[in-house]
Amino acid sequence: QASIDEEYRNSAEIYAKYVSSCVGITVDIVSTNIFGQTVTSAAAGSGFVITEDGYILTNYHVIDGANSIKVTFSDGQEYTATYVGGQEQNDIAVIKVEATGLTPVVIGKSSDMLVGEQVTTIGNPLGELTFSETTGIISALDRLITTSSTNANNQTESVTLNVLQTNCAINPGNSGGPLFNEYGEV
C-alpha cells in the first residue's frame, strides 16, 4: 500500500510543480478547398517550456501548416507564438512566446528509462481538457514506428522513429506534451 500512496504523491507533486510549465497549443491552418475557397480550420496540441524566456518544445505535427499559433498557460495567460525551427522527420518543433520568468522543465535522458518505470503526462486532450494529468508506466523501450506521408512532389516518404511505449492515456491534443519520469524529468 505504501508504494501506491508514494506513486500518487509523486505524480501529484510533479503536477503541482510543472503544470505551469505546460501549455495548450491552438493553431489555425489556412488551406484551399476543392472549390478554390480559402478555409480556416483549427487544431490543438500540447507543449512545455524549456527556457525561462519563452522557448517551448512541441511536436512538429502540432504546428505543421499553422497560420497562427496560440499558447495558453494554466493560469489562463495567452500568447501568440512564433515558429523557431524543427525537424519533421523527428516530429519535434520549437516555438517561442515573448515572456520571461517562466519555469522550464528538467530534461532527462530517455536512455535512462526502464520498462515498468512510473511516468506522468500533462496535456491538452481533445483540445478542450487542458492541463489533464494521466499516469502509467513505460511499457517498452526502443519501439520502431514507421510512418509515411506524401511530399510536395507526390512521392511517398517513410520515416522510422525510435520511441518509448507507455500505457498513459494519451488522446488527440496530448501531442507535444511532456512525459515525466518519477523524478520529474521529461
- Say whether 175 is catalytic: yes
- Say whether 20 is catalytic: no
Burial of 101 (0-12, 13-18, 19+ CB in 10 A): exposed
The three grid cell numbers given for residue 10, joined into one nine-digit string: 509523486
Q: What angle do CA 68, 72, 76 make, to 5 degrees?
A: 140
**CA–CA distance, 41 with 66 (Å, rounded to integer):** 10
Q: Which of 11, 46, 132, 175 is catalytic?
A: 175
- Say whether 21 is catalytic: no
Q: Which of 11, 21, 61, 132 is catalytic?
A: 61
Burial of 170 (0-12, 13-18, 19+ CB in 10 A): middle
The three grid cell numbers given for residue 52, joined into one nine-digit string: 525561462
Beta bridge partners of 81: 69
Q: Which of 11, 21, 46, 91 is catalytic?
A: 91
Which positions are annotated as active-site residues? 61, 91, 175
